[in-house]
Amino acid sequence: MVLEVLSNLILIIGLFFVFLAMLGLARLPDVYNRLHATTKIGTLGAFGVMLSILLRVGFSPIGVKAITVALFILVTSPIAAHMISRAAHRHGVGLCKESVIDEYGKACSSACSIKENE
Give the model confidence (pLDDT) of 16-50 as tens digits: 999 999 998 898 888 888 888 888 888 999 999 99
Contacts of 82 (CB under 8 A, 6+ apart): none
CA-wise closest residue to 51 among 34, 22, 73: 73
CB 52 within 8 A of CB 14: yes
**Radius of gyration, alpha carbons of the chain:** 19
CA-wise closest residue to 68 among 54, 78, 82, 55: 54
CA-wise closest residue to 53 among 72, 70, 38, 39: 70
In whole angstroms, give the CA distance from residue 20 to residue 18: 5
End-to-end CA, the chain:
67
pTM for the full predicted model: 0.76
* Span 69-114, pLDDT tens digits: 999 998 999 899 989 988 888 888 777 777 777 776 666 665 555 4
